[in-house]
Each structure stands twice: as C-alpha cells, then as structure tokens.
Amino acid sequence: MLLLLGVGFLGGVITGLSPCVIPALPVIVAGGSATTDRRRPLVVIAGLVVSFTTFTLVGGALLGALHLPQDLLEYLGITLLLVVAVGLVVPWVGEQIARPFARLGSRRVRSRHGGTGTVGGLVLGLGLGMVFVPCAGPVLAAISVVVASHRVGVAAVLLTSSYALGVAVPLLAVAVVARRATSEWKALRGRLPLVRRVAGALVGLVALAILFNLTAPLRAVPGYTSALEAHVEGGAGVTGRLRTLDGERANSFAARQSATTTGLPDLGRAPTFTGITRWINTPRGEPLSLSGLRGHVVLVDFWTYSCINCQRELPHVEAWYRTYEKDGFEVVGVHTPEFPFEHVVSNVEAAVRRLGVHFPVAVDDTYKTWEAYANEYWPAEYLIDRDGVVRHTQFGEGGYTTTQDDIRMLLQAAGAGHLPPAAVTPDRTPTQELTAETYLGYDRFDFARYQGSAVIPGKRTNYRPVPQIAGGDLSLGGTWTQNPWELTAGPGAVIDLSFTATDVYLVLGGSGTVAVAVDGRPSGVVHVSGVPDLHTMVALGHQTSGLLTLRLSAGLQAYDFTFG
C-alpha cells in the first residue's frame, strides 16, 4: 500500500505540472495575490484537495442517489468561483461571505487588508476542486473504476488523497509565489485594493470560461508529461497493485489444473455467494447457497442484461436448465452490473422477464461475488460438481457443446440415471472478425478511434464530423454532452461509425427516436423509451463493412456499441 500511495503522490505531482492544470492556474494566481495573508495560499489549496477528493469518491453516487444531474457539482463549483470573484471586487460582498463564519467563532475571517482571507480562500478552493478536471493516468483511472463499481474503501480514499496532495504541490508553489509578489513588491503592496479587484475579475472570467467551455483549447496542449507519467504509474508492479485495488485479479480457477477420475480438472473449491442484494426466481425470494446445493451440479453464470454477448449465451443456459433440472442440475445467474442503470433491481427484474430467464438470479450490485470469483468477464461460466469444486470454466461466448458435455458427465458422476437427449440451441457466436466494442462515455472512451473536433468530457459541446473516417473509427456531429458512462444527445446529434459486422447494437436510454442510415441510405427508425437497454441498429443478414450514421433525438443517451 505504501508503494501505491507514493506512486499516487508522484502521479499527482506530474499531473500538477501537466497542461491539464492550465485552466486552474489563473484562479490559483488570483487567489494567492488577492491578499498578503500568509495562510491564503495554503487555505486555497486545502479547499481544492478536500473538494476534489470528496467529490471524486462520493459525488457521483450522492447525486445518483438524490436523482440529480451529474453536472450539478460543476455548476455549483462555478457558482462558488463567481461568488468569490464578486467578493474580491466588491469588499462589502466579501464581508457578507465571511460573516457566517465569524458567528461560528472563526478568529481570522478577514485579512488585515479588508478581504475574506481565510474564508474567501477556502470557498475559492472548494469551488475550484469541483470544476478541476485532471488528466486521467493509470492511478486516476483505477480510482474511477472503484468509484463506478461502488467499492470505495480505505485504500481508495488514501490513494485519492495522496494523488490530490501530489497535484497540490505545484499549485501551492504557484499560489505562494503570487502571494509573495503581492506582499514584497512595493508597487503591488501599496495598491492592494486594485490588485484584489483585478484578481476577482480574473477569477470571474475563468469561471465564465469554464461555464461556456472556452478552456478546452488550453487542456488540449500536447502532454509533455505523458512519458514521465507512463514511467512512474505504468510499471508492472504498480499496475498489478492498481488491479488489486479495483478488483481486477487474475482468475485463479483458470490457473489450477489437476487430473480427476472424471477427466475434468480440479480447479479449486467454489466461493460462496456473498453480498447478494436480491434473489430473483427463487421461492419467495429466498437466498440460495452452495452448501444448500451440495449434491447438485451447479452452473454459476455471470451476466448483465444489456450485454449482447450475454444475451446470445442466455438461450443455451436456459435450455440446459430446462433439460437437466430434474436430474440434479441447478443454474445460478449472477447479475453483476456494468452500467449504472443495471444497478436498479427493478430494471433487472424487467429484463429477466423480457429475456425469458427462469433460473435463479442473484443480484450482485456490490460486486462481492464477482470479486470472490476474481471474475473478469461477461459472460463467464463456472461449472461446479456435487462436492462444490469448480471443474470447468468458460469465459466469453462459445464452447457450448463442451460445456453441455461436461454438465452431462458431472451429472452421471453424481449418480443421475438415463439423461434426456442433449439440448440443441443455435450457436450465434460470431466467427469472423468484427469491429471492437465501442464505449461512448469518457471513462472508457477510445480516443484513438475518434475523428473530428476535440471531444470535451463533461461539457455540452457542438461537434463537427469529418467527411470520411477509417475502419472502426467514429465521429460526432451536432450537440453532445459526454458523461462518464454515456453521450447525451442535444440538437442535431449525429454519430458516424465505420463498422464491420452483420448486426450492430447500441445501448440507449431516454425517450425518442434514432434515424439509421448505412452508407448514406436510410435503413429505418429505432424507437426508444423506458429504461436504458440494448437496441438493434441494423441487422444486415451477412457481414458487411460500411458507414453507419445515426441521428438521435435530443435527450437520448448512447452508452455502448457492440457487434454481431
């Protein structure tokens, strides 16, 4: 853990020296130069560290629980910056900002020069922390995965804090230099009220620039710290520890192999189900346990309902369940969500009914069972014998004949008599090379496959598409807002995607329509309503390479392209 904290701190220092902090520098300079109070720079940076750490870890979850928009914190931060700006320009407003703190007993709410030194600096730092968007290196990416999967623990808090403190070091140096310039240069010291007004105007201009997305060109400066970041944060030892932090561990069941009397390997004892928040398709919603299923052959199947790979696998699992249930076979489908909307149990229940799933489903919202199996895939199968030992695994689609043969073998070894004929289900697993899965939210967006005007995460932006794109790439047109998990369409929203596939799917949320065209020829209109789910954009009947153009109604959310 000490290594991770050290790397987190160094990664933060590198970020603090990178182009990503350029939009924050005018505010830091203005905050440090607004008063000669020695505490001012430290208070500004402390506010930034506390705000950034807190809202990075819990901000999104808190807003989601309250059903508030995810950009609310950004607008709150901009509001705080504007309040501080007005307080610097108009001393009376600054005094009103400080007054509530004075009533709470603060001893130093105003500087000797009539400003809200400590309080104003704290509010400034808090507001800046809410709008501060650093570059996402390996450390910050690992933190994002932990937060997205609702697994924030002590290690994540410590790593985020160490990263924020590292970012703070260069910024604190800038703030201290600005304060000393104000304090020691006679020309500035004698005209401090004017300096304060100029600083306030600067803070206000930056806040408005962030509001209207005018700081994006500053963050697009080439990353001269990228190589150093990769060297410090991207080493094998560090990468392994980051994977441990976010639950990405090597799957132990795939590693152990030993011969048995059935001819199937002994892969180790299966972990119990843990952290399950709801059971579906069990009598009265009662939980199942592996100990209670001892003597049965059990298939534990990890899936999530908007995953096309899982949807192609489910008919096979359902057929095995129907065919062999009376012979001592049980299926437990562990639904571990990928996207935020899949954490909603009512959405999962509706999907279970819609997809025709009749076997028991364990809702693994907290990833506890996923972590117990060190699982890494949707779908993933773990076939367990009557003694609770994992004997077969299958990661991803396919291998259905082998899996069914092993089910039959274990059932016969468990004493099952004459088994019914093997279930026959069409295998829809793609066999040709397809376009890679394409996530649209900025947490997993592949910028290397994007062409067009710069993507600005978290900002409502008007995009200009390129006239021609290469294989597998995409381009945006019209107005979009890129959020952590999805793109939200605005007026004139268009996606152009160069693809190779027979079928193209897109996870969509909201209510509206999607006009579909392939190679410029209209292909149909997809109607979207209700909770986010997987929708078929085109079903061509044969594999094709072409250009898919989608025109989305304003308000629709596009999450993820998959292909078949």
Q: Could you report the per-residue pLDDT of 400-437, keeping only the tens digit for each?
A: 999 999 999 999 998 888 899 999 999 888 888 899 99
CATH homologous superfamily of 255-413: Glutaredoxin (3.40.30.10)
CATH homologous superfamily of 438-563: Galactose-binding domain-like (2.60.120.260)
Using a 10 angstrom Cβ sphere, with 0-12 exposed, 13-18 middle and 19 or more buried, the burial of residue 507 is buried
Please compute the mean of the pLDDT values over residues 380-391 and round it to a whole number.
Answer: 94
For residue 208, the model assigns a pLDDT of 80
For residue 187, the model assigns a pLDDT of 54
d(CA 188, CA 519): 64
Inform me whether the pLDDT recorded for 150 exceeds 60.
no
Going by pLDDT thresholds of 50, 70 and 90, the confidence category of residue 60 is low
Bridge partners, residue 547, by sequence: 498
Inform me whether the pLDDT recorded for 553 exceeds 70.
yes
Contact 313, 401 (CB under 8 A): no
- CB-based contacts of 327, cutoff 8 Å, min separation 6: 411, 416, 417, 419, 420
- CB-based contacts of 188, cutoff 8 Å, min separation 6: 33, 181, 182, 195
Please report the DSSP string for 256-283 in residue order. -----TTSS----BPPPP-S--EEESSG
Helix (H, G, I), strand (E, B) or coil at 478: strand
d(CA 200, CA 220): 26
State the residue for tokens 């900025």.
442
In angstroms, what is the C-alpha Rg of the chain? Answer: 28
CA distances, 489 to each of 73, 493, 496, 516, 551 (Å): 20, 5, 14, 15, 9
For residue 328, the model assigns a pLDDT of 93
Inform me whether the pLDDT recorded for 372 exceeds 80.
yes
**Predicted structure pTM score:** 0.58
Q: Where are the domains of the chain?
A: 2-243, 255-413, 438-563
Helix (H, G, I), strand (E, B) or coil at 466: coil
